[in-house]
Structure 1
Amino acid sequence: METAGSSIISALGAGSGVDFTKLASDISAATYAAQRNQITARKTSLEAQVSAASQLRGAITGLASALGDRVRTGDLAPKGTLANPAVATVTVPPGLSPRGSFSLEVTQLARSQTLLSRPLASRDALVGEGTLTLRFGTVSGTSFTPDAARAGIDIAVTDTDTLATLASKINTASGGAVQAYVATGTNGAQLVMKGREGAANGFQLEATGMGGGPVAGDLEYLGWTPASGGALLQSTARNATLSLDGVAMTSPTNRVTGLPGGFTLDLAATNTGAPTTLSFGTSTTAITSVMEDFVVALNDIVGQLNDLAAPIGGELGNDPGAREFRRDLAGLSGRVVMPGAGTNDPRTLADLGLALNRDGTFKLDTARLNRSLETNPDAVAAMFTTGVNGVFATVDRFARESSLVTDPVSLGGSLSRYEKQLAASDERLTRIAEQQEALRERLTREFTASERRVAASQSTLAFLRQQVDIWSNSDN
C-alpha cells in the first residue's frame, strides 16, 4: 500500500533504496503472526466441535421426529377396520387412540333438499320483477317448520334478471346454504336448487311478483312451498340415523363426530338389519417393524458417537456433553416408558425388546418383544401414542434433554459453549487485524520520516563532494 511519504520519496528519486512500505507491512504481520495462527488453529478446532455436536444433536432429534411421524400418521397411527367397508370410512384424529370394537348399523344416510323449478324456454328467459325470499327449516309432507334461529333471505329480482342471473343471486345471497344452477333438458330450462345435508336445512321459496300469478314471466312462477307445490321436490332434507352398540344416534351430516375415543365416521351406505363390526386392533407387524428400524437408527447414532467422541482424534473426545450423551444412550433401554403400567404390563423399552450389547450398540430381543405382544397386545399398543407417556414421548424427551443449552453437560450446553468461544475467536482476530494495521501505519510513518532524513543527508553529501571537486580543480 503506497503512502504520501513513499510517493514523495519515489518522486524525488532519493532515499536509501529500501522498500520501507513493504518492510512496515512485513514487520507488523510478523509481530502478530504467532497470535493469529494460534487463534486460527483454535477456531478450526472449535468449528469441528460445533459441527460434531450439531451432528449428534440432529441425529437424536431426527430420530424423535421420524418416530413421531410414524405414530401420528404412519403405520403406527390407530386405524379402524370395518367388517363391511362399504358402510363407512373411519378416521382417527392425530393424538387419539380409540381401542376395542363396536357394532355399527346405519339405517339412514343424511340428505340435502333438491328442488327443481317449473321450466322456462331458456336460461336467458326473464323471470319477472319482485322479491324472492328463502326460508330455512324442516319440510315434512305438506308442512314447513321454519328455523327460528335463521332469518329469511330476501333476494331482489329486477325486470332484467334471467333464470341464469337469478341462480347467481341465490348462490351469493345464501352464502352457499343453497347452491343453484340452470339445467336445460327435454322440458326446457329449469332452476336446480340444492341445500345442505340435515333435516333443519330444508327450505322454501316465497315469491312476490307483479301480480300476474304463477305464469311464466312472473316471479311467482318460480315460488315453492310444501303446501302449494308448483316446483318439483326431488329429495327432502334429512338427518343420518345409526346405532353404535345399540345406542341410537342421529347426525345432520354423513360425517359423524363425537364418538367414543374421538374417531369419526363418514357414512356411505346403509346396512339396516345387518350390523357390521368396527374394530381398533393392534398391528403387531407395524410395532415389530418400528422396533427394528428404531434399533438400526440407534446403532447409527452410536456409530457417529464412537467416531466423533473417540478418545484419540475425536472432535468431542474430551467433551462432557458427549460423555453424558453416551451414558444416557446406554440407559435408554431401562427408561420407564409407561409409569402407570400395571404389574404385568410392559413398562420400559427393554420390555419391547430393546437390549444393549457389551460394545455399546443395541440389538432387538425379538423373543421378549413377541412375548409382550402375545401376552398384552393392548398395553404394547398403548406405548405407541402421542401422549405424555410412551415410546415417542420418551425419545422426544431424551432429544430435548440432550439439546438443552442451559445444561453444561448436555450436547446443547457443549454446542452453546463452543459457539460462544468461536464468536470470541472471531472478535480476537478482528482486534489483532486492527492492531496490526495500526502498527503498519505507525512504522510506515516512521520509516518515511527516516527516508526523508537519509535523502537530506545524501543531498548534503553530494553538495560537499561537488564543492571539494571544484576546489580540487581550482588548485590545479
Structure 2
Amino acid sequence: MSEIGTSILQTLGGANSTSLVSLADDLAAAQFEPRIARLAAANEALDAKISAASALKNQLTQLATALGERVRAGDLAPTPKIANGAVAQVSRANSRPAGSYSLEVLTLAAAQTLTGPPLADPTTVVGGGTLTLRFGAVAGGAFTADAARTPVPVTIPAGATLEQVAEAINGAGAGVSAYIARAADGARLVLKGAEGANSGFVLEAAGDPGLSALAWEPVAGAPDRLLSTALDAEFEIDGVLMRAPTNKVGEVAPGLSLTLTGTNAGLPTAITFNEAAPAITSTMQDLVAALNEIATALNDATDPQSGELARDDGARALRRQLSALGSAVVMPGATNGAPATLAELGLSINRDGVFSVNLATLERALADDPEGVSAMFTNGLNGVYATVDRIARNASAVGTPGSLASSVNRYTAQKTQIDKESLKAVEMQEAMTARLTKQFAAADAQVAASKSTLSFLQAQIDMWNKSDD
C-alpha cells in the first residue's frame, strides 16, 4: 500500500477536522506546486529579460539625448562670436570661414513712416475714391520710382471713414500697413512700409476732397508728415562697403551671416570663430566611453551561458548595428575627400565589441578638413548624432520586428500569460483542496458509522458469550 493510502487510512482512523484539511492541502500541493514553481521560475526569467532589454534601450536613448544636446550647444563647429553684441547678431553660414572679420555698421535699414493730416476722430468721414501707392526712393525732397514695382490702387467706398480707409489699405496687400493713431492734435492715418531705400512710397488720391487730403509726395507734400525715410543698411566688412535692403542681411562673408541691430560708425568690432577641435575630441572620447558602457551591458546580457538575452533578436540586431557603426556612412552627401564615416575620425571596435578612438587619426582629420569633420556633428538628417539617434529610435520602435522594444512587448505578453496560468493553477489547487476535504469528511463519517456498528455487534457477541457461560 502506498504511503499516501496508508496516511489516508491512518487519518480516517482517528480523524479530526484539522487533520483532514491538512491532508487535503498536502495532496493538492503535491499535485500543483511543481507546476506553480515552474511558472514562477519562468516568470522570474521573463522579468530578467524585460529588465535587461529595457536597460539597454534606455542607455541608447540617454546616449542619443546627450549627444543631441552636445551638438546643439554649437561648439562642435566653428561658431562666430562678436565683440560688440549691440551691433549685430552673428550666426554660422554654410561655407567655410575665412578667418576673423571686422564689422562697422554705418546705417541701419529703415522703413518709411508717413502720417495723414489730423482729423477730429477715427470715424470722421473722408469720402470715397481711389488711393494709389507708388514705390521707389524718397530722398532729397524728390521721389524716384522703382520701375520694377507696379503701383497698387486701393478703392475706397463712398462715405468711408478714416478707419475704413486704413482697413482698405491693409486689405490691399501692398506691403504697407495702416492704422489710426490718436495724436495730440487729432486722429491721424499712419502708413508704414518695408525696410530698404526702394521701399519708400508716395500716396496719390482721386475722389472726394477729404480723401484727396490724404495724398502725399515729397515735392508738394507737407514735410512734417514724413516721420521716417526708407533706407538701406550700410556696413563695412573688413573695410569693404556693403548695402542691404534689410537688417537681416544673411551671409556677408564666408561662414558668416548677420542681423544688424545697431551702429558703430568709426568703432569697428571684431568677429572671430571658436576652435572646434578640442570640443570634437572631447565629444569623441565621451561617445566612446558611452558606447563601451552599452557594449559591456550588451555582452553581459547576451552571454551564451548566463545572459538574459542570449537568444534575443533585439539584442542581436543591436550588436550588428554597433559592430557596423565605425564603417557606416554617416555623411552620404560628403564631398570627395571629406570624412564620411566614424572610422575616418579614428573610431574602431574590436572582436569583443569594445570601442576605442585613435586620437592621432582624429587629429589628422581635423587638420586636413576641419569643416568636413564639424559637418559630421550637426543637428541634421545625417551625421554622428543622426546615426546614433536612429539606432536608439530603432531599438525603441515597438512596431519594428527585432527591436528591443518588440522584445520587451513579447516578454511582457508571455509574462501576462504565465500570470494567468499561475492564477488558474492556484485556483485549481484550492478547488482540489476543498473537494478532497469534503470527500475525506464524508469518508470519515462513514468509517465512524462502521466503527459504531462494529462496537454494537461486538457488545452483542460479548453478551451472547456471557449468557452461554
TM-score after normalising by structure 1: 0.64
The alpha-carbon distance between structure 1 residues 239 and 24, as it changes in their structure 2 partners (threshold 3 A), is: farther
Residue pairs, 1:432-471, within 5 angstroms: 432-434=422-424, 437=427, 444=434
> d(CA) in 1 for partners of 2:428 and 2:301?
41
> d(CA) in 2 for partners of 1:126 and 1:403?
63
> d(CA) in 2 for partners of 1:275 and 1:246?
9
The alpha-carbon distance between structure 1 residues 72 and 38, as it changes in their structure 2 partners (threshold 3 A), is: same
Q: Give the aligned partner of residue 423 of structure 1.
A: 413
Secondary structure (helix, strand or coil) at the match of 2:117 reads coil
> d(CA) in 2 for partners of 1:296 and 1:148?
63
Secondary structure (helix, strand or coil) at the match of 2:203 reads strand
Residue pairs, 1:356-375, within 5 angstroms: 362=355, 364-375=357-368
Residue pairs, 1:89-104, within 5 angstroms: 89-92=89-92, 97-101=94-98
CA deviation string 1:241-276 (max 9, x = no partner): 789999999765332458899975423467999999
1:224 to 197, 215, 219: 215
Contact 1:88 1:266 in 2 (8 A): yes
> d(CA) in 2 for partners of 1:370 and 1:455?
94
Q: Is 1:195 aligned to residue 185 of structure 2? A: no
1:232 Cα deviation (Å)? 0.7
Q: Is 1:74 aligned to residue 71 of structure 2? A: no
> d(CA) in 1 for partners of 2:296 and 2:340?
27
Q: Give the aligned partner of residue 227 of structure 2.
A: 234
Q: Give the aligned partner of residue 113 of structure 2.
A: 114
CA deviation string 1:69-98 (max 9, x = no partner): 433553225634569876643445xxx843
The alpha-carbon distance between structure 1 residues 37 and 303, as it changes in their structure 2 partners (threshold 3 A), is: same
Paired residue type of 1:138: F
CA deviation string 1:124-172 (max 9, x = no partner): 58633534865444054357779648552637766xx7x8x67985797
Paired residue type of 2:215: W
CA deviation string 1:296-322 (max 9, x = no partner): 323433454466556776544675765
Q: Is 1:55 aligned to residue 71 of structure 2? A: no
Secondary structure (helix, strand or coil) at the match of 2:76 reads coil
Q: Give the aligned partner of residue 138 of structure 1.
A: 135
Q: Give the aligned partner of residue 382 of structure 1.
A: 375
Count of matched residue positions in the alignment of Structure 1 and Structure 2: 432
The alpha-carbon distance between structure 1 residues 366 and 334, as it changes in their structure 2 partners (threshold 3 A), is: same
Say what the alpha-carbon RMSD is for the aligned residues.
5.7
Residue pairs, 1:144-223, within 5 angstroms: 148=150, 152=154, 154=156, 177-182=176-181, 184-185=183-184, 190-198=188-196, 199-200=198-199, 202=201, 204=203, 206=205, 213=209, 219-220=210-211, 223=214
> d(CA) in 1 for partners of 2:36 and 2:190?
83
Q: Which range moved further: 268-277 or 57-66?
A: 268-277
> d(CA) in 1 for partners of 2:230 and 2:108?
10
The alpha-carbon distance between structure 1 residues 345 and 130, as it changes in their structure 2 partners (threshold 3 A), is: closer
Secondary structure (helix, strand or coil) at the match of 1:152 reads strand
Contact 2:112 2:199 in 1 (8 A): no
Secondary structure (helix, strand or coil) at the match of 2:193 reads strand
- Consecutive unaligned residues of structure 1, counting only runs of 5 or more, are 1-14, 214-218, 467-476
1:114 Cα deviation (Å)? 0.5
Secondary structure (helix, strand or coil) at the match of 1:130 reads coil
Contact 2:156 2:168 in 1 (8 A): no
The alpha-carbon distance between structure 1 residues 309 and 233, as it changes in their structure 2 partners (threshold 3 A), is: same
Paired residue type of 2:124: V
Paired residue type of 2:216: T
Paired residue type of 2:111: S
The alpha-carbon distance between structure 1 residues 53 and 126, as it changes in their structure 2 partners (threshold 3 A), is: closer
Q: Is 1:300 aligned to residue 293 of structure 2? A: yes
Q: Give the aligned partner of residue 9 of structure 1.
A: none
Contact 1:70 1:77 in 2 (8 A): no
> d(CA) in 2 for partners of 1:189 and 1:407?
66
Q: Give the aligned partner of residue 473 of structure 1.
A: none
Q: Give the aligned partner of residue 388 of structure 2.
A: 395
Contact 2:314 2:407 in 1 (8 A): no
Contact 1:101 1:279 in 2 (8 A): no
> d(CA) in 2 for partners of 1:19 and 1:205?
113
The alpha-carbon distance between structure 1 residues 419 and 80, as it changes in their structure 2 partners (threshold 3 A), is: same
Q: Give the aligned partner of residue 11 of structure 1.
A: none
Identity %: 37
Secondary structure (helix, strand or coil) at the match of 2:287 reads helix
1:43 Cα deviation (Å)? 1.8
Contact 2:109 2:244 in 1 (8 A): yes
Paired residue type of 2:221: G
CA deviation string 1:304-356 (max 9, x = no partner): 44665567765446757657756764665565656787897656535434466
Contact 2:178 2:189 in 1 (8 A): no
Paired residue type of 1:232: R
Residue pairs, 1:220-369, within 5 angstroms: 220=211, 223-226=214-217, 229-230=221-222, 232-237=225-230, 253-256=246-249, 265-268=258-261, 283-305=276-298, 308=301, 315-316=308-309, 322=315, 325=318, 329=322, 332-333=325-326, 346=339, 348-354=341-347, 362=355, 364-369=357-362
The alpha-carbon distance between structure 1 residues 133 and 180, as it changes in their structure 2 partners (threshold 3 A), is: farther
> d(CA) in 2 for partners of 1:324 and 1:447?
55
